[in-house]
């Protein structure tokens, strides 16, 4: 892929700032010198309560196709987003791309235009145009967009990168981008596509090259799956590590291009030249590597499955069911000046989404409106993909699509407003940690700071939504036994020597486990403790079980239900993963294996 083809966000990941051109050339081209090393981190977030509420209400009239004359004189608000089914609720609330007669937006006094834009970099550019006009004193800018809709797990990357550009132009603190709310969630639509072996034996992903929009939500799905299964991730998209999962940036930050790159590589033999890395050091060799998989969403998934044989959905947001909300990101200063307008947009959306949850006519109308807004396929296509579809090709089955919309009860629950479990914060903090510790392509050298959750998210506008039935909170049923392994990984938790007391420095690791459980909250858990060979064999059986129990108790205190733990066990010193004759080996053997079951 040529540098000229890459946009701001791809370049922000790929460019690594160095002291000077000569130093850069020596650092990157000389064999044996170190580069960013592939890393194995703790995995991502999962919660104890699924977010899927239904509020019983009478069926309301569907929006009409005719443009609204009632709100035509009101300021036009523009919001841009991907072609993504998880935002179909706001589309049907508007009646389509522009506010129509009888729509929920019209009834709430909103004049709204929804714009499809699949390039992440162009979404940023449109938001920057809006800020430029706002800075000139235009209260309701006619240029750019007031807000964008993206995968919420991509917001730490997007907000931090865009905020850097805003601060550079206007000075720190003058303007801030914030997540204003969430209106839906991916439930299977966003996925990693690869050979079935990756699903049956995740370790077979070692050495794979995956095309994706780096830093966006689908990248997070792949990274999360890798870390959940103890695989290293290569953070540098210009190098290749045979001992890690590798990524290549999709052209134009476009998820469709991620699918196209996989198809091109598999069908025509297209390869990507990458500098070989071993143990964090460049070897001086160039590897021409075929692309083995991609991370994408509908219609990119269908495109790949139609074109290729022997591929399946390896992991998706159906497994990590709380990972990827449809986040609405806007300018704080504009939103603060128009609080009731922002609240009305959310109110209209949640009224429509609650209708979608109850009535098929509304789901079909939403699909028709999505087809009109996306200018792609027809209503039947988006209706079926919203529900999720299964297919089979040459004996290999696969899944496509799968989305949900949020009503007000869902949004309140997701942000922890109604039940105290802030799923979005757990995910946001974990992805921020990925960016900080992985430093993909020099992210931390280009972005001065990752905007913390407390600055990046503002739920004020959700709390202003009034005169709407919020519904009741849904909780996951953990009474049924889970039998299928979703992921299994080892965690090195520091305990007091010979005891089951968790040391203070282990809190960070345990917090990562909790975050993982918030993201995959439909899963049940098995905890198995292990020890080194110090002490007696019988004593170590008891000690390893006690340590697994200590982890369980910590997680219960954090809010994970006790009914979610299906098995607690200890294997003592019987299953070492390293040499017990060295201190380093002993440390690796003192571990707890966490297995997610579905």
What pLDDT, in 10s, does the model give residues 226-235? 988 889 999 8
Distance separating alpha carbons of residues 27 and 21, to the nearest angstrom: 10
475: in domain: no
Q: Which domain holds residue 559?
A: 485-597
- DSSP lists the bridge partners of residue 567 as 526
Q: What percent of the chain has pLDDT over 90?
A: 60
* Residue 359, pLDDT above cutoff 50: yes
147: in domain: yes
157: burial class by Cβ within 10 Å (0-12, 13-18, 19+)? Answer: buried
Clarify whether residues 341 and 303 are in a common domain.
no
* Residue 251, pLDDT above cutoff 60: yes
- When divided into structural domains, the chain yields a total of 4
pLDDT band at 126 (very low <50, low <70, confident <90, very high): very high
**Cβ count within 10 A of residue 190:** 33
More confident residue, 576 or 242: 242
Top mean pLDDT of 25-29, 451-455, 463-467 is at 451-455
**Average pLDDT in the 285-296 region?**
97
> SS3 of 304, please?
helix
Torsion of CA 123, 186, 355, 329, to 10 degrees: -30
pLDDT given at position 18: 25
- Which residues does 589 contact at the CB level (< 8 Å), separation at least 6? 530, 531, 532, 533, 573, 576, 577, 578, 580
Clarify whether residues 332 and 449 are in a common domain.
yes
| CA-based nearest residue to 473, from 413, 542, 517 | 413
147-151, strands of its sheet edge to edge = 112-116, 77-81, 147-151, 325-331, 177-186, 403-405
| CA-based nearest residue to 49, from 509, 526, 459, 421 | 421
Clarify whether residues 571 and 589 are in a common domain.
yes
| CA-based nearest residue to 250, from 278, 222, 280, 287 | 222
For 342, phi then psi, to 5°, come to -60, -45
* Residue 398, pLDDT above cutoff 80: yes
Distances, alpha carbon 569 to alpha carbons 43, 487, 502, 572, in Å: 21, 17, 17, 9
The CB-side HSE value for 443 (13 A sphere, CA atoms) comes to: 26
Peptide bond preceding 299 in cis form (omega within 30 of 0): yes
**Strand extents, DSSP E, 252-309:** 271-278, 281-290, 293-296
**Average pLDDT in the 489-503 region?**
72
pLDDT given at position 48: 37
Least confident of 159-173, 217-231, 371-385, 513-527: 513-527
pLDDT band at 322 (very low <50, low <70, confident <90, very high): confident
| CA-based nearest residue to 94, from 118, 115, 72, 112 | 112
* Residue 551, pLDDT above cutoff 90: no
pLDDT digits (tens, 9 = 90+) for 142-190: 999 999 999 999 999 999 999 999 999 999 999 999 999 999 999 999 9
Mean pLDDT of the chain: 86
**Average pLDDT in the 77-106 region?**
97
Clarify whether residues 301 and 334 are in a common domain.
no
Clarify whether residues 498 and 590 are in a common domain.
yes
Quick one: tokens of 421? 């479990």
Q: Contact at 8 Å (CB) between 44 and 515?
A: yes
Distance separating alpha carbons of residues 142 and 290, to the nearest angstrom: 45
Which of 411, 435, 464 is the last residue in one of the domains? 464
Which of 286, 316, 346 is the last residue in one of the domains? 316
Quick one: tokens of 173? 């603190």
Clarify whether residues 354 and 259 are in a common domain.
no
Quick one: tokens of 588? 């690796």
* Residue 469, pLDDT above cutoff 70: no
**Average pLDDT in the 47-73 region?**
83
454: burial class by Cβ within 10 Å (0-12, 13-18, 19+)? Answer: exposed
Clarify whether residues 213 and 195 are in a common domain.
yes
Clarify whether residues 82 and 228 are in a common domain.
no
pLDDT given at position 170: 97
Clarify whether residues 177 and 197 are in a common domain.
no
67: in domain: no
Clarify whether residues 427 and 521 are in a common domain.
no
164: in domain: yes
* Residue 113, pLDDT above cutoff 90: yes
pLDDT digits (tens, 9 = 90+) for 569-592: 888 899 888 899 998 888 888 888
**Average pLDDT in the 307-323 region?**
92
Clarify whether residues 167 and 288 are in a common domain.
no
* Residue 42, pLDDT above cutoff 90: no
Quick one: tokens of 500? 């089951």
Which of 267, 291, 316 is the last residue in one of the domains? 316
404: in domain: yes
Q: Is 560 left (phi over 0), alpha (psi -120 to 50) or beta?
A: beta
Q: Contact at 8 Å (CB) between 183 and 302?
A: no
Distance of CA 403 to the CA centre of its chain: 14
376: in domain: yes
Where residue 137 sits, what CATH number does that domain have? 3.40.190.10
| CA-based nearest residue to 440, from 26, 32, 38, 30 | 38
Distance separating alpha carbons of residues 472 and 573, to the nearest angstrom: 47
* Residue 20, pLDDT above cutoff 70: no
Distance separating alpha carbons of residues 547 and 30, to the nearest angstrom: 46
Q: How far apart are the first and last CA of the chain?
A: 39
478: in domain: no
267: in domain: yes
Distance separating alpha carbons of residues 518 and 422, to the nearest angstrom: 9
Distance of CA 383 to the CA centre of its chain: 23
* Residue 479, pLDDT above cutoff 90: no
pLDDT band at 10 (very low <50, low <70, confident <90, very high): very low
Any idea which residue has 């390896």 for tokens? 314
Any idea which residue has 């205190």 for tokens? 557
- Which residues does 418 contact at the CB level (< 8 Å), separation at least 6? 409, 412, 470, 473
Clarify whether residues 353 and 365 are in a common domain.
yes
- DSSP lists the bridge partners of residue 592 as 491, 529
| CA-based nearest residue to 405, from 362, 464, 466 | 362
């Amino acid at each position: 892929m040529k540098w000229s083809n890459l946009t701001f966000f791809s370049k922000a990941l790929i460019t690594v700032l160095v002291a000077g051109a000569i130093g850069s050339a020596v650092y990157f081209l000389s064999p044996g010198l170190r580069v960013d090393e592939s890393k194995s981190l703790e995995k991502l977030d999962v919660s104890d309560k699924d977010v899927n509420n239904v509020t019983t209400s009478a069926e309301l009239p569907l929006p009409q196709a005719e443009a609204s004359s009632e709100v035509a004189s009101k300021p036009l608000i523009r919001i841009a987003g991907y072609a993504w089914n998880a935002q179909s609720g706001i589309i049907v609330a508007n009646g389509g791309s522009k506010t129509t007669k009888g729509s929920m937006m019209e009834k709430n006094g909103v004049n709204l235009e929804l714009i499809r834009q699949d390039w992440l970099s162009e979404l940023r550019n449109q938001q920057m145009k809006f800020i430029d006009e706002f800075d000139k004193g235009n209260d309701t800018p006619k240029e750019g967009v007031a807000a964008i809709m993206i995968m919420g797990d991509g917001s730490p990357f997007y907000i931090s990168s865009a905020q850097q550009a805003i601060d550079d132009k206007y000075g720190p603190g003058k303007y801030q981008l914030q997540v204003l709310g969430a209106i839906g969630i991916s439930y299977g639509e966003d996925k990693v596509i690869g050979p079935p072996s990756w699903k049956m034996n995740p370790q077979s992903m070692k050495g794979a090259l995956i095309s994706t929009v780096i830093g966006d939500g689908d990248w997070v799905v792949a990274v999360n799956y890798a870390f959940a299964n103890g695989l290293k991730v290569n953070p540098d998209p210009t190098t290749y590590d045979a001992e890690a999962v590798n990524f290549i940036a999709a052209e134009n930050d476009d998820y469709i291009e991620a699918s196209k790159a996989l198809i091109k590589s598999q069908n025509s033999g297209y390869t990507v030249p990458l500098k070989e890395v071993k143990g964090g050091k460049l070897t001086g060799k160039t590897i021409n590597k075929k692309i083995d998989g991609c991370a994408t969403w509908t219609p990119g998934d269908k495109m790949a499955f139609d074109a290729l044989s022997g591929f399946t959905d390896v992991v998706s947001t159906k497994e990590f069911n709380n990972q990827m909300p449809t986040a609405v990101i806007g300018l704080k200063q504009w939103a603060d000046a128009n609080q009731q307008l922002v609240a009305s947009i959310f109110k209209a959306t949640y009224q429509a989404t609650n209708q979608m949850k109850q009535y098929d006519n509304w789901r079909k109308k939403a699909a028709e409106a999505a087809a009109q807004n996306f200018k792609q396929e027809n209503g039947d296509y988006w209706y079926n993909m919203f529900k999720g579809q299964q297919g089979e090709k040459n004996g290999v089955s696969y899944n496509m699509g799968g989305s949900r919309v949020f009503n007000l009860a869902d949004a309140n629950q997701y942000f922890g407003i109604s039940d105290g479990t802030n799923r979005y914060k757990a995910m946001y903090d974990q992805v921020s940690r990925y960016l900080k510790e992985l430093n993909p392509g020099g992210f931390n050298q280009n972005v001065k700071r990752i905007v913390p959750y407390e600055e990046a998210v503002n739920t004020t506008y959700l709390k202003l939504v009034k005169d709407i039935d919020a519904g009741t909170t849904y909780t996951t049923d953990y009474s049924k036994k889970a039998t299928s392994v979703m992921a299994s990984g080892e965690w090195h938790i520091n305990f007091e020597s010979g005891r089951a007391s968790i040391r203070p420095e282990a809190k960070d690791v345990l917090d990562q486990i909790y975050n993982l459980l918030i993201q995959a909250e439909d899963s049940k858990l098995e905890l198995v403790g292990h020890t080194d060979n110090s002490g007696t064999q019988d004593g170590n059986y008891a000690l390893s079980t006690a340590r697994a129990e200590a982890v369980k108790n910590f997680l219960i205190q954090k809010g994970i239900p006790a009914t979610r733990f299906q098995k607690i066990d200890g294997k003592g010193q019987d299953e070492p993963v390293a040499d017990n004759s060295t201190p380093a080996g002993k440390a690796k053997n003192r571990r707890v294996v966490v297995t997610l079951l579905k």
